Amino acid sequence: MAALLVCLNFVMDPMQMLKRYVVPYWINVMWLDLVTYLLHHHGHEDKLPWYRGKEWSYLRGGLTTLDRDYGLINNIHHDIGTHVIHHLVPQIPNYHLVEATEAAKPVLGKYYREPDKSGPLPLHLLGILAKTIEAGLVYKQLSF
């Protein structure tokens, strides 16, 4: 891939490569980081326990993730808003995640947390993102 990108830089104008590859790539990476790391695994420390060392297990780790509702974006993300079941049984194909989540809810009981409902756009997640960034800054200040 790196060789192909270098060759394309010679064939195309580097500014075109920046517009057609680099900027979309950065946007994609930032969005994936936002969705997978910040919004499923962080932002609800008051609701989710954190396990360290010997307390942690695969099952506990899976149960300390959250499902999210992305509104219209749910379908674009192949229903990855069904994050809990994805962590508990990662072999389930994305096209069965919704029905697997519905089947698992009664079994998980109090360990399953319903996601906040979204409008067409998941603007409710901006508050969670801001809270996560603030908590990270406070933690960083305390660790020095």
DSSP structure string for 4-35: HHHHHHHHS-HHHHIIIIIHHHHHHHHHHHII
Query: Is residue 105 a part of any domain in this protein?
Result: yes
Mean pLDDT of 26-50: 74
- Say which residue, 103 or 112, is predicted with more confidence: 103
Query: Is residue 4 a part of any domain in this protein?
Result: no
Query: Is residue 33 a part of any domain in this protein?
Result: no
Threshold 0.75, pTM exceeds:
no
Query: Is residue 27 a part of any domain in this protein?
Result: no
At 139 the pLDDT is: 57
Query: Is residue 50 a part of any domain in this protein?
Result: yes
Mean pLDDT of the chain: 83
Which residues lie below 8 Å from residue 51, measured CB to CB, with a gap of 6+?
57, 60, 61, 64
At 107 the pLDDT is: 94
Query: Is residue 106 a part of any domain in this protein?
Result: yes
From the list 106, 110, 69, 104, the residue with the least C-alpha distance to 86 is: 104
User: Residue 47's domain spans which residues?
Assistant: 38-133
Query: Is residue 99 a part of any domain in this protein?
Result: yes
- Residue 137: pLDDT band (50, 70, 90) is low
Domain count, the chain: 1
Query: Is residue 45 a part of any domain in this protein?
Result: yes
